[in-house]
Amino acid sequence: SLVLVTGGNGFIAAHCIATLLRSNYRVRATVRSSQKADDTRNALASAGVQNLSHLELVVVPDPTDLQAFSAPLQDCQAVLHLASAFNYDAVPGEFEEKLMIPAVRGTQVVCEAAKQHSTIRRVVIMSSFASVYDASLGLQPGSVYTEKDWCPLTYEDGVNAAAVPIAYRASKVVAERAAWDYVRDNSVQYQLVTLCPGMVFGRMIHPISSLSQLNASNQIVWQVLSAGNEGEIPPTKAPVWIDVEDLSETSIKALTFSGTGHERFLVTQGSYDTQEIADIVRSRLPERQRVPVGEPGKRIADTHYSCDSSKVQRVLGVKFRGLEQSIIPLAEQLYDMEGC
Ligand code: NDP
C-alpha cells in the first residue's frame, strides 16, 4: 500500500521512509522544493536505502495550502505527518509566522485533506513530548508523565512567547490539539494516531552537507562531543529521549496496527543526561573524542520527572534500544563529518 510522508527531507522522516520501503510499502513524500527532492533521493541512495524505486518525491512549496496538499494524497492508504519547524532560529515577533501557522495550519490541512480521500484509513501525526509536559513546573522530581498529560500552552502563548523554545512547544501542542479537535468535530473515515517522542537521537540518513545544518535534537549530542577536554558539559534540557530508528519502527506500527480507535502514544526510552552522553563517548571512542570529563557517573535522573511509555510498548509491541547504541553511531558520523 501507499503511504504519504510529509517533510520527507527531515531527520526522522528519512528513517521512516527507509523503514517503510524496507517493509515493502510504497511511499510518496512531500518536500518544499525540487532541489530538496533531489537531495533526499541522493542521500537515501548513499545511505543504501532499499527499494528506492518505490519512492516518489513530490514538491509542495506551501503545505498549509489545502488544495496543493490534497492532490498528493490520491490513492494513499495512510499519512505520516512530520513536517514542522523544529529549529530555534526564529526571534520574538516571528513566532506566529515561522512556528505557529506552519505547525497548526499544516496539521489541520493534513486532517482536512485526508477526509477528502476515502482510501485513507490512518493519519499519524508526529507530535512531541513538548505537547505532554508542562515546562513551567520545572524539574518536578517524582512526577511521571503519560499520554494523558497535556502541555497547557495556547496559541497566544506561542505568538507572544519570550523565547523560541516556548513558542516551539506551543506550536506542537496547539497543532496536536487541532488534530484532536478535527476528528472530534468531523466524521472522519480514518483513525488518528499521535506520537509524542522525547528528544530523538541517532545516525542521520537525510540530506545534510555540514554540521551547521544539524537538526535541533542531534545538536544536543554535538554540543557535548565538541565541547573540548577542558570545556564544560552543557546543561541537560528536556531529559527524555528515543532512538530515531526505534521511532521510525514505532511510526510504521502506528500506521499499520489493527487497533480501531484513535490513539495517543508517549514514545520515550527513558531519561538521559549530557553527562551520560559524555561518559559513553569517552569510554567507547577514546581515540576520537574531545569531550569534557565533568563528573563521570553523575546522573540527574532522580532530580527530575520521568515518563511512563509502557502503553506504546504494549499496544504496538515495540522495544527501545539503550542510549549507547544510539549515540555511538551518531558520534562516529559527526566526527567524520567534521573531518570533511
Ligand atoms: P527536521 O528539522 O530534520 O525536519 C523538519 C521537516 O519539516 C523538514 O522536512 C522541513 O522542511 C519541514 N519544515 C520545516 N519548517 C517548515 C515549514 N515552515 N513548513 C513546512 N515544512 C517545514 O526535524 P525532525 O526530523 O527532527 O522533526 C520531524 C518532526 O518530528 C517534527 O514535527 C518535530 O516537531 C517532531 N519531533 C522531533 C523531535 C526531535 O527530537 N528531533 C522530538 C519530538 C518531535 P524544509 O527543509 O523545507 O524546511
Segment 44-73, tens digit of pLDDT: 999 999 999 999 999 999 999 999 999 999
pLDDT at 340: 57
Judge whether residue 265 has pLDDT over 60: yes
Average pLDDT, the chain: 96
Q: Which amino acid is at 340?
A: C
Judge whether residue 266 has pLDDT over 70: yes
Distance 86 CA to ligand 1 centre (A): 5
Angle at 267 between CA 26 and CA 242, to 5 degrees: 85
- Give the number of other Cβ atoms within 10 Å of residue 107's Cβ: 30
Residue 195 CB less than 6 A away from ligand 1: no
pTM: 0.98
pLDDT at 339: 79
Percent of the chain with pLDDT over 70: 100
The total number of residues written for the chain in this structure: 340
Q: Which three cell numbers stand for residue 223?
A: 554540543
Residue 128 CB less than 6 A away from ligand 1: yes
Residue 32 CB less than 6 A away from ligand 1: yes
Q: Which atom of ligand 1 is nearest to the CA of 7?
A: 9
For the segment 252-264, what is each residue's pLDDT rounded down to a tens digit? 999 999 999 999 9
DSSP 8-state assignment for residue 133: -
For the segment 167-214, what is each residue's pLDDT rounded down to a tens digit? 999 999 999 999 999 999 999 999 999 999 999 999 999 999 999 999
Query: 88 vs 102, which has greater pLDDT?
Result: 102
Distance 15 CA to ligand 1 centre (A): 13
Residue 290 pLDDT grade (very low, low, confident, very high; cuts 50, 70, 90): confident
Coil, strand or helix at 94: coil
Task: Report d(CA 167, CA 94) in Å as an integer.
Answer: 10
Distance 125 CA to ligand 1 centre (A): 12
Choose the residue to mutate in 9, 84, 221 for probing ligand 1, maximizing ligand atoms within 8 Å of C-beta. 84
Of 52, 292, 262, 49, the residue nearest 176 (C-alpha) = 262
- Whether 196 and 264 have beta carbons less than 8 Å apart is answered as yes
Residue 202 CB less than 6 A away from ligand 1: no
Distance 142 CA to ligand 1 centre (A): 31
Residue whose Cα lies nearest atom 21 of ligand 1: it is 83
Residue 102 CB less than 6 A away from ligand 1: yes
Residue 99 CB less than 6 A away from ligand 1: no
Task: Report d(CA 130, CA 134) in Å as an integer.
Answer: 8
Q: Which atom of ligand 1 is nearest to the CA of 81?
A: 32
3-state DSSP of 199-261: EEECCCCCCCCCHHHCCHHHHHHHHHHCCCCCCCCCCCCCCEEEEHHHHHHHHHHHHHCCCCC
- Whether 306 and 271 have beta carbons less than 8 Å apart is answered as yes
Q: Which amino acid is at 311?
A: K
Distance 84 CA to ligand 1 centre (A): 4
pLDDT at 276: 97
The CB-based long-range contact list for 157-162 (8 Å cut-off, 24+ gap) reads: 158/95, 158/96, 158/99, 158/100, 159/95, 159/96, 159/100, 160/95, 161/92, 161/95, 162/92
- Whether 54 and 65 have beta carbons less than 8 Å apart is answered as no
Task: Report d(CA 337, CA 340) in Å as an integer.
Answer: 5
Q: Which atom of ligand 1 is nearest to the CA of 217?
A: 40
Judge whether residue 237 has pLDDT over 90: no
Q: Which residues of 255-280 are buried (b: 16+ CB within 10 A; e: fewer)?
A: bbeeeeebbbbbbbbbbbbbbbbbbb
What's the mean pLDDT in 129-140? Answer: 95
Distance 295 CA to ligand 1 centre (A): 34
